Structure 1
């Protein structure tokens, strides 16, 4: 039975090409993960704030390397896409950004991120979200990006609003954290929305 609506983004659009490096204003770059980034990932997941909002804990650099291998392989599967956010001059990892739960045929994905403790307060998350959002809409052709976070995560809410992700509502008891179920804010941007606030 034929579909009446064409795929928004054709299957294979990402898998057919190399995962790109995306420049970020202010001296950052969104780039594919490398095996040499394992110490930085391990260090990030020792941070209590990152641990608070994530279900995983890295117990060793070798475990972090396994995650990186999974992240790198996910590109070909076109379900998730993970990048390191790095200083463009030194290549030092300052964060992570991802498009998760991609449904290319429906033109949708969820954006997620974290920032290294030493890089906070410099607009790393906001600038990276803005750059990846622009790429997802203009280069890939996605139609809608969601950004979800615990209602208790005020910093993430600030990033979402600063980058033009409108608050659409609250999903009650939708996120399980170490301390129990959290209500989750749902933010979104749709292709054609006005530009994000400058970062």
Structure 2
């Protein structure tokens, strides 16, 4: 008698098991493909965009296509090991690449992770980051069984602050000197910490923003 094939565990990112692709809010989140030229070019544009660099100083800068391809391969390795879930944000109808949202630094013991996002210049002004963050957060709670998601942004990044609050990430405090200054690794700036836990109510993206404390 033939045995029933073993089904993959929900949210398992390792090995060759199928990876879920969240769809909703007019978006589809799929895995980045470092062998796809369009993905490599979009990753380079996103990571080298002046607005991205204004608010972020990655440990390794992406400045050319070769660097972008290597960066995406590193992202894929992290996803295969279960340490992160990097998603290419695309339009659900056209498949056009709009940006990135990642569930990073996944700790399966404490059931916590950190989220981050960026949007390509031509896709801004359409609430892409808000919709992508809401979709990725729902996926992380449901499929990875996480309890807590944290979101940090540089002090003064009001746009990211609004996105966090809109998606139900409450402001929890200011972390002193927790992020590099823009373009530097010898100076630091403060970070706003936001977080959402699995038992928080699902946010209504159309409702007015909650008041700040």
Length-normalised TM-score, structure 2? 0.82
- 2:99 pairs, out of 92, 95, 100, with 95
Which position in structure 2 is the counterpart of 1:188? 195
Post-superposition offset of 1:73: 1.6
Alpha-carbon distance between aligned partners in 2 of 1:78 and 1:197, rounded to the nearest angstrom: 30
Q: Which runs of 5+ in 2 are unaligned?
A: 1-8, 207-213
What is the CA deviation profile of residues 143-191 of structure 1, one whole-angstrom value per residue up to 9, with x for unaligned ones?
0000011112111111000000000111111111225311111100111
Alpha-carbon distance between aligned partners in 2 of 1:54 and 1:61, rounded to the nearest angstrom: 19
Post-superposition offset of 1:89: 2.5
Alpha-carbon distance between aligned partners in 1 of 2:203 and 2:14, rounded to the nearest angstrom: 29
Q: Which moved more, 1:45-54 or 1:108-117?
A: 45-54
* Contact 2:13 2:82 (8 Å CA) reproduced: yes
* Contact 2:62 2:68 (8 Å CA) reproduced: yes
Change (3 A) 1:14 1:42: closer
Post-superposition offset of 1:54: 2.4
Q: Which runs of 5+ in 1 are unaligned?
A: 1-9
Which position in structure 1 is the counterpart of 2:117? 113
Alpha-carbon distance between aligned partners in 2 of 1:92 and 1:160, rounded to the nearest angstrom: 24
1:141 is paired with a residue of what secondary structure? coil
1:45 is paired with a residue of what secondary structure? helix
Which position in structure 2 is the counterpart of 1:80? 84
Larger Rg: 2
Post-superposition offset of 1:88: 2.0
Following TM superposition, where does structure 1 have runs of at least 4 consecutive aligned residues deviating by more than 3 angstroms? none
What is the CA deviation profile of residues 53-88 of structure 1, one whole-angstrom value per residue up to 9, with x for unaligned ones?
222432211211111111112112121221110112
1:71 corresponds to 2:75:
yes
1:168 is paired with a residue of what secondary structure? strand
Which position in structure 1 is the counterpart of 2:28? 29
Post-superposition offset of 1:13: 3.7
Aligned-pair Cα RMSD in Å: 1.7
Which position in structure 2 is the counterpart of 1:38? 40
Alpha-carbon distance between aligned partners in 2 of 1:93 and 1:13, rounded to the nearest angstrom: 25
2:72 is paired with a residue of what secondary structure? helix
Post-superposition offset of 1:96: 0.5
* Contact 1:20 1:32 (8 Å CA) reproduced: no
* Contact 2:62 2:71 (8 Å CA) reproduced: no
